[in-house]
Amino acid sequence: MIMRRSSSAAAWVLCVAVAAASVLFLASEAASSAAAAPHDYEEALRKSLLYFEAQRSGRLPHGQRVAWRDHSGLTDGLEQGVDLVGGYYDAGDHVKFGLPMAFTVTMLSWSLLEYGGDVAASGEFAHALESIKWGTDYFIKAHTQPDELWAEVGDGDTDHYCWQRPEDMTTSRQAYKVDRERPGSDVAGETAAALAAASMAFRATNPHYAHLLLHHAQQLFEFADKYRGKYDSSIAEVKSYYASVSGYHDELLWAALWLHRATGRAAYLDYVVDNAHEFGGTGWAITEFSWDVKYAGVQLLATRLLLNGDHSERHRDTLELYRAKAEHYMCACMGKNAAPEDNVERSPGGMLYVRQWNNMQYVTSAAFLLSVYSGYLKDAGAGERVTCAAEAVGAEEVFGHARAQVDYVLGSNPRGISYLVGYGAKFPARVHHRAASIVPYKDRKEFIGCAQGFDDWFGRKSANPNVVVGAIVGGPDRRDRFKDDRVNYMQTEACTYNTAPMVGMFAMLNRVAREHGTSAPTPTTVTTQRQEISTSTAAA
């Protein structure tokens, strides 16, 4: 059972963790055929959006496509006298954690803002908006007062004593909030960022809803800034799962930049510039971007304003400092900073490696930031480059690094495994996911208790009865080794924020592949894929 999502302290603490070789398979030699095989990015896009339907909490809509899920969490918030039904389960269990959920929605929205035309061309724009709205509808409910936000439903400790379907939950559904007396600037700031970004995604199709989202975003930012504090100091129950290691300064800068982009109000950019030094925006040289550590994203958004000329002269010098730190991150991901310790480690197969626990979250977020930054450079003009040590790197090379990470996820790796579940001939079959690992509620409605779930389902060696299509699992270790085992939660549990950055990437790469005449393999059915991976892993 998972007891902690990840440690996000690498930007501050040098932490190198090595997975135990006794529980992992040795990596095979790099498979050149897998590396050369074209990928069907359109299929990957369609499947990535299905994952968010599998993670839904609440009363499922008539258009629900993931049929093995049913209604769950229908009394969330009842004890506190507030409606908290809805939202997303973040991973393979059933706690609704506000901080990673909000980051997921921010990244889904950002995907549409950068690559929405490509998503629409693939016929998936409506589904992408639905994935965002399932989260934003919940945030509106959870923001019950201008200075009050419900930040968690459920308790991780009790939840992890049970292995149940969400439809059978008997664990605590206690809800926890941040307010004036118990502040949470990080979770309120991230939720403000999510709502501001989402407001732009909905502006063309649902302007009234977009206005409502922006109203909540502005209130939440004011709350986060006025009543400052870390949310894990106010909600002790979150410390073992999503502790805010980076603090809340990055979320305040992040939210202000998204509000500036959504409103165009100079006051938000003034905030980002005036607080740049004190909040670490121009101080931290970061080598990761995650649900906790937003500095690289902050620095990239600030650089966008510089490249586009969307600033006053008094902002320029500070925005140049933001750009220097943004380029440190880009160079780190490309392995081009002067000092080796300033670069992100790579596995022998080329995967960016930050830490052993759910490393894929750092791979997908890095791929997204690299791709987006390459686009900003291209839009700014042919002379724009990333300055890495003594080397100037052009937009195309930056983009090439981004695409290589996406292709690694999809199977261009030494093991030839797609870490996007349901895609390709071989993918993880024993995902650490309660709902996927137990027979569907619609097929067997009798109650399955905590212990029964462990006894009858958790320890099974066979493939999960349900394929959680579109999930991106934690992935392999620093040596490309991966063990497809439900017990191996560090590698086989998937999270919403792993997949969210890939939605836009898959759509954009689909367009690029078509423009260059790259043929894609004919997709096989999920059933066939599951059987293939089941056979291969059983043999291993």
Q: What are 155-170's pLDDT values in tens digits?
A: 988 888 899 999 999 9
Q: Which two tokens stand for residue 421?
A: 């579940």
Query: What are the residues facing 177 on neighbouring strands?
Result: 150
**Is residue 360 within 8 Å of residue 409, measured between CB atoms?**
yes
Overall average pLDDT of the 51-58 stretch = 98
What is the three-class DSSP state of 265? coil
Q: Is 155 noted as a catalytic residue in this protein?
A: no
C-alpha to C-alpha distance for 363 and 356, rounded to whole angstroms: 12
User: Any catalytic annotation for residue 455?
Assistant: no
Averaged confidence pLDDT in the chain:
89
Mean pLDDT of 513-533: 48
pLDDT of residue 38: 84
State the average pLDDT over residues 455-465: 94
CB 180 within 8 A of CB 121: no
The sign of the CA dihedral 275, 278, 282, 286 is negative
CA-nearest of 212, 220, 152 to 189 is: 220
SS3 assignment, position 376: helix
* Interval 354-364 mean pLDDT: 97
pLDDT score for 160: 85
Phi, psi angle pair for 296, to nearest 5°: -65, -40
Location of structure tokens 């040590």: 389
Distance (Å, rounded) from C-alpha 394 to C-alpha 516?
A: 20
CA angle 98, 187, 276 (to 5 degrees): 150
Say yes or no to pLDDT of 82 above 80: yes
pLDDT tens for 244-276 read: 999 999 999 999 999 999 999 999 999 999 999
Which residues, other chains included, contact 424 with Cβ-Cβ below 8 Å and sequence gap of 6+? Answer: 410, 411, 417, 418, 529
As a whole number of angstroms, the distance between CA 324 and CA 74 comes to: 48
- SS3 (DSSP) at 73: coil
Q: What is the pLDDT of residue 10?
A: 38
Angle at 143 between CA 434 and CA 209, to 5 degrees: 95
Strand-pair category, 386-388 with 175-178: unpaired
Query: What is residue 181's predicted lDDT score, i.e. its pLDDT?
Result: 98
Is 484 annotated as catalytic?
Answer: yes
DSSP state of 152: E
- Residue 19, pLDDT > 60, answer no
| CA 395 – CA 381 distance, rounded (Å) | 10
Please report the pLDDT score of residue 190 as a whole number.
98
Residue 90 has pLDDT above 80, yes or no: yes
Residue with tokens 């300055």: 387
pLDDT, greater one: 384 or 261: 261
Report the half-sphere exposure of 508 (CA within 13 A, side-chain side): 21
**Beta-ladder partners of 58:** 72
Handedness of CA 237, 175, 48, 131 (dihedral sign): negative
Q: Region 126-148: what's the mean pLDDT?
A: 98
Q: Is 136 helix (H, G, I), strand (E, B) or coil?
A: helix
Coil, strand or helix at 151: strand
Catalytic pick from 93, 168, 251, 327?
A: 93
Q: Please tell me the predicted confidence (pLDDT) of residue 450.
A: 87
Q: Find out whether 94 and 152 touch, Cβ atoms under 8 Å.
A: no
Q: Is the dihedral of CA 216, 273, 9, 484 positive or negative?
A: positive
Which candidate in 127, 143, 328, 432 is catalytic?
Answer: 432
**Encoded amino acid at 159, one letter:** D
pLDDT score of 128: 98
Cα(254)–Cα(252) distance, integer angstroms: 5
pLDDT of residue 37: 55
Q: Which of 68, 211, 50 is nearest to 130 (CA)?
A: 50
Active-site residue, selected from the candidate residues 42, 43, 288, 493:
493
The pLDDT value given to residue 18: 29
What is the sign of the dihedral through the CA atoms of 518, 377, 364 and 482? positive
Q: Which of 69, 70, 45, 74 is nearest to 58 (CA)?
A: 74
Give the pLDDT score at 415. 96
pLDDT tier for residue 527 given thresholds of 50, 70 and 90: very low
Q: What is the 3-state secondary structure (H, E, C) of 209-263?
A: HHHHHHHHHHHHHHHHHHCCCCHHHHCHHHHHHHCCCCCCHHHHHHHHHHHHHHH
Instruction: Return d(Cα 477, Cα 354) in angstroms, integer.
Output: 10
Q: How far is CA 15 from CA 293, 330, 475, in A?
A: 15, 21, 19
Lowest mean pLDDT among 16-20, 246-250, 286-290: 16-20
Note the pLDDT tens digit of each residue in 316-344.
999 999 999 999 999 999 999 999 999 99
Higher pLDDT, 445 or 217: 217
- Taking the C-alpha atoms of residue 57 and residue 167, their distance in angstroms, rounded to an integer, is 9
* Interatomic CA distance for residues 67 and 442, integer angstroms: 8
pLDDT score recorded for residue 35: 40
Structure tokens at 33: 């055929």
pLDDT at 279 over 90: yes
Q: Is the pLDDT of residue 149 over 80?
A: yes
Which letter does DSSP use for residue 148 in this model? Answer: B
- Element (H or E) spanning 178, and its range? strand 175-178
Task: Tell me the C-alpha to C-alpha distance, in Å, between residue 284 and each of 10, 180, 277, 352, 513.
Answer: 12, 29, 9, 20, 36
- How far is CA 328 from its chain centroid? 22
Per-residue model confidence as pLDDT tens digits over 408-447 = 999 999 999 999 999 999 999 999 999 999 999 888 888 9
The tokens describing 262, both together, are: 């959504």
Using CA atoms, how far apart are residues 253 and 301, in angstroms rounded to an integer? 10
Look up 493 and say whether it is catalytic: yes
Residue 29 buriedness (CB in 10 A; 0-12 / 13-18 / 19+): exposed
Residue 532 has pLDDT above 70, yes or no: no
Distance CA 11, CA 348 (A): 23
